[in-house]
Structure 1
Amino acid sequence: MTVPYLSTALKGPLLELESRILGAQPHIEHWFRSQWHAHQVPFYGSVDLRNSGFKLAPVDMNLFPGGFNNLNPEFTPLAVQAATSAVEKVCPEAKNILLIPENHTRNTFYLQNVAALVHIFEQAGLKVRLGSLNPEITEPTELTAANGATVRLEPIERRGNRLVLADGFSPCVVLLNNDLSGGVPDILQNLEQTLLPPLHAGWAVRRKTHHFKAYDQVADDFARLISIDPWLINPYFNATKGLDFQSRQGEEALADSVSGLLDKIRIKYREYGITHDPFVIVKADAGTYGMGVMSVKSPDEVVGLNRKARNKMAVVKEGLEVSEVIVQEGVYTFETVNAAVAEPVVYMMDRFVIGGFYRVHTGRGVDENLNAPGMHFVPLSFESACLPDKNGNPDCPPNRFYSYGVISRLALLAASLELEATDPDNA
């Protein structure tokens, strides 16, 4: 697959940004190495990017990525290498790994993701078994993924401070692919085994605003490194708390927050001669799966929401009520695949980019959330394992994807700083 079409005439700033990234590649890679000496890299993660032609920025960072089945299988060796590196860091003698997936066992595409993860770790020479937190799983249960792959879930037991399976399987590493939206179960507390990602990475504790506060720092440091305006790679944001969408509590405060952010974006649009209308994304400060998200171009749009809109914003995954939101600068996506709006999602394990895909939605616009029913995925053709082509144009596929990999790794670094700042052991 060739790189998707970037359907915008406003390529000037972005081409300049990509050119600067390519020109500074040795400095950038050295800088990343120094950062990973100073900070512990998250075990894995995925980043949603938006490319507007004048701005390239992350808009979400997932620390429990659930789309490994959408990656280009040609790059499985990259994932295997990264998995080997990640596991060796935490348990050099590791032979066994217990993978704990989400509880939604009826989502056959998610099960396909679980099967893909199992395949990666088995290729890395590990014995992988699946332990479930789902109370409905009381005995070993085989389920079939969307592609026909079989996954076998087993109930987890706790013996002392270790998680085991009924036959005594006792892993060195417990890997969560469950984002703990519904809270942290007691069975995961105070384990002597290495648990990754850590419990405070789950949505019971984590907040998007914490992540983007950390990303502010990373983007500023990186912008100084390559002499760019940090706004080109960083969406503005602020937070609004004390909301109750059903009773309309906090609507005026939310409208003020939206208004202030739109004013800031307008200043930047004027500076860069951008004629599009600025917009913001209002989304739950905790949570995933594209729930509790709305695209807004005027503060009036968040006042007096109708019942359908209130219901949409009031509750997210696990039925949790939304009282805190992040109001984030909206970044247009002017990339298209077969005339449908697309955004890149980049996957990383350890500190390595291991692939990605385009989230494509034929029914959504350039200023809307694409993580919604009706989306489909197109694997990215990372060429030369995301290494740049020094002889190519700044926006040729390898160089476009190298830039995507750089911005994604900035988000991964921000996640590292975020987890350090929210670690209860550092309090």
Structure 2
Amino acid sequence: MVPHLTTALTGPLLELERQFLDNAPEIEKWFRTQWQDHMPPFYGSTDLRNSGFKLAPVDLNLFPGGFNNLNDAFMPLCVQAAQSAVERICPDASSLLLIPENHTRNQFYLQNVASLVSILRLTGLDVRVGSLLPDIVEPTVLELNNGTTLTLEPLRRSGKRLGLDNFDPCAVLLNNDLSAGIPPVLKGLDEQWVIPPLHAGWHVRRKSKHAECYDRVAREFATTIGIDPWRINLDFGVCGQINFQERTGEECLAAQVDALLTRIRAKYKEYGVTDEPFVVVKADAGTYGMGVMTVTDASEVIGLNRRQRNKMAVVKEGLQVHEVIIQEGVHTFETVGEGVAEPVVYMMDHYVVGGFYRIHTERGRNENLNAPGMQFKPLAFDTSCIMPDVDLAPDAPPNRFYAYGVVARLALLAASVEIEETEPVHEIGEAA
């Protein structure tokens, strides 16, 4: 199943996908050389938006929480990629400790953890799940709605290592994005790998830094295959002096919104795009679609009402928002059934391992779909996004998915660069 695009597949979309097809050997060669210079994250997921004339990532998650939404057909790809990721970091690994979020009541998230455990165990690893929750004082079995179970165990710290009772793992894998900061139990683990590294957590990570790194990656890639980088990239601005509750910094935000909309209008005119430009204002740190608003005019961010301010002021873990990224908005022309849709691509190591569609029947094509009421439609990317078929049309399933895979890997590469450039001089909790 491939999403339906409401526009005719005869214009810039086909042109962009044709560029990917015609340059596939050069693209794969380029990626190989890049991965020689940059270590890929253990895993990641990226939300893409396809406007018909532009295909770009709008978010990159280094602690992906939707492995349960992948089609079962992806399991062999996931296992192979996970094996590669483990061998790259800890070649002699026989055991791994997984630390999830504290969402013990979120069945969908727990099913994600169980799916991740299954993938990792099929690589030959002994995998157990340690909980940061203080009320987990003994092994606790959770019954999941899909008929599976998940066992959470209390963490045990021993010197500079972290494990469980009678379990001393080679590495600690985080599926917790550290929005609330680094728990003391994770600090100073100098004798174990902690993956992703602690500085990849949202307590220090910024979307604007990732956007800057992606901009550089996209420009180099675009030069390689001869396209305008704007076709795969998002323009952006930053405002680091906002306080939504106290209504300070609105002028900074409005100025950034106005400047970005002006640049977008110029590109729309260049490409003959008749859609109304918009930007997305997001908290510069955080996930779960919190702290997000769509804006079509700078005046809309002046004098926000109480409901709007409350929505933007606080994100996950109750953290106050004082920094925002203003990101170029990308209309999505993809629909699945009656809902507007956007692809979400999952990766492990430097491999694409599958994906699904986020669908929302109550949102427009210029709105954030990561919101209550969204649905997920697992789709088997039969060619795993790396095997285009030049004998088929650019929008045929293998070629559409290949285009997804190319842009998703660009975002993952940007995350690699981001992690390298933000690494503290003395990393806390990661072996040298």
**TM-score, normalised with respect to structure 1:** 0.98
* 2:124 aligned with 1:125: yes
- Corresponding residue number in structure 1 for 2:260: 261
- Corresponding residue number in structure 1 for 2:213: 214
Query: Is the 1:111–1:144 Cα contact (8 Å) retained in structure 2?
Result: no
* Moved >6 Å (runs of 4+): none
Superposed CA deviations along residues 349-382 of structure 1, whole A, max 9, x for unmatched, are 0000000000000111000000001001011221
- Corresponding residue number in structure 1 for 2:154: 155
Superposed CA deviations along residues 284-326 of structure 1, whole A, max 9, x for unmatched, are 0000000000000011111111101000000000000000000
Superposed CA deviations along residues 108-144 of structure 1, whole A, max 9, x for unmatched, are 1000000000110111111110001112222211112
- Corresponding residue number in structure 2 for 1:64: 63
Corresponding letter in the other structure for 1:419: I
Q: Which residues of 2 match residues 296-315 of structure 1 at below 5 A?
A: 296-315=295-314
Comparing 153-162 and 7-16, the one that deviates more: 7-16
Aligned equivalents of 1:352 and 1:10: distance in 2? 28
Aligned equivalents of 2:8 and 2:269: distance in 1? 17
- Unmatched 5+ stretches in structure 2: 428-432
Q: Which residues of 2 match residues 345-360 of structure 1 at below 5 A?
A: 345-360=344-359
Query: Is the 1:295–1:368 Cα contact (8 Å) retained in structure 2?
Result: yes
Q: Which residues of 2 match residues 225-374 of structure 1 at below 5 A?
A: 225-374=224-373
- Corresponding residue number in structure 1 for 2:183: 185
- Corresponding residue number in structure 1 for 2:40: 41
Aligned equivalents of 2:89 and 2:223: distance in 1? 33
Give the Å deviation of 1:426: 7.9
**Local SS of the residue matching 1:384:** coil
Superposed CA deviations along residues 2-41 of structure 1, whole A, max 9, x for unmatched, are 2100112475122111111111111111110100000111
Aligned equivalents of 1:426 and 1:135: distance in 2? 29
Corresponding letter in the other structure for 2:198: L
Aligned equivalents of 2:145 and 2:395: distance in 1? 35
- Corresponding residue number in structure 1 for 2:403: 403
- Corresponding residue number in structure 1 for 2:430: none
- Corresponding residue number in structure 1 for 2:377: 378
Aligned equivalents of 2:375 and 2:145: distance in 1? 14
**Local SS of the residue matching 2:384:** helix
Give the Å deviation of 1:75: 1.3
Query: Is the 2:200–2:419 Cα contact (8 Å) retained in structure 1?
Result: yes
Comparing 247-256 and 2-11, the one that deviates more: 2-11
Aligned equivalents of 2:143 and 2:58: distance in 1? 33
Q: Relative to 1, partners in 2 of residues 1:426 and 1:40: Cα closer, same or farther, differing over 3 Å?
A: farther
Corresponding letter in the other structure for 2:331: Y
Q: Which residues of 2 match residues 23-102 of structure 1 at below 5 A?
A: 23-102=22-101
- Corresponding residue number in structure 1 for 2:417: 417
Corresponding letter in the other structure for 1:284: A
Give the Å deviation of 1:148: 2.4
Superposed CA deviations along residues 138-172 of structure 1, whole A, max 9, x for unmatched, are 22111122312110101111101000112x20000
Give the Å deviation of 1:42: 0.5
- Corresponding residue number in structure 2 for 1:139: 138
Superposed CA deviations along residues 248-282 of structure 1, whole A, max 9, x for unmatched, are 01011101110000000000000000001000000
Corresponding letter in the other structure for 2:3: P
- Corresponding residue number in structure 1 for 2:393: 393
Query: Is the 1:3–1:381 Cα contact (8 Å) retained in structure 2?
Result: no
Q: Relative to 1, partners in 2 of residues 1:418 and 1:11: Cα closer, same or farther, differing over 3 Å?
A: farther
Corresponding letter in the other structure for 2:271: Y
Aligned equivalents of 1:373 and 1:361: distance in 2? 9
* 2:3 aligned with 1:4: yes
Corresponding letter in the other structure for 1:410: L
Aligned equivalents of 1:187 and 1:87: distance in 2? 23
Aligned equivalents of 1:145 and 1:101: distance in 2? 15
- Corresponding residue number in structure 1 for 2:171: 173
**Local SS of the residue matching 2:388:** coil
Give the Å deviation of 1:384: 2.5
Query: Is the 1:358–1:378 Cα contact (8 Å) retained in structure 2?
Result: yes
Aligned equivalents of 1:260 and 1:426: distance in 2? 38
- Corresponding residue number in structure 2 for 1:13: 12
Query: Is the 1:259–1:299 Cα contact (8 Å) retained in structure 2?
Result: yes
Query: Is the 1:108–1:144 Cα contact (8 Å) retained in structure 2?
Result: no
**Local SS of the residue matching 2:390:** coil
Comparing 168-177 and 136-145, the one that deviates more: 136-145
Aligned equivalents of 1:152 and 1:189: distance in 2? 24
- Corresponding residue number in structure 2 for 1:108: 107
Corresponding letter in the other structure for 1:179: D
- Unmatched 5+ stretches in structure 1: none
**Local SS of the residue matching 1:211:** helix
Percent identity for Structure 1 against Structure 2: 65
Corresponding letter in the other structure for 1:31: W
**Local SS of the residue matching 1:425:** coil
Aligned equivalents of 2:294 and 2:9: distance in 1? 22
Aligned equivalents of 1:146 and 1:3: distance in 2? 28
**TM-score, normalised with respect to structure 2:** 0.97
Corresponding letter in the other structure for 1:415: A
Corresponding letter in the other structure for 2:173: L
Give the Å deviation of 1:93: 1.3
Aligned equivalents of 1:421 and 1:316: distance in 2? 25
Aligned equivalents of 2:247 and 2:328: distance in 1? 23
Comparing 272-281 and 131-140, the one that deviates more: 131-140
Aligned equivalents of 1:11 and 1:241: distance in 2? 42
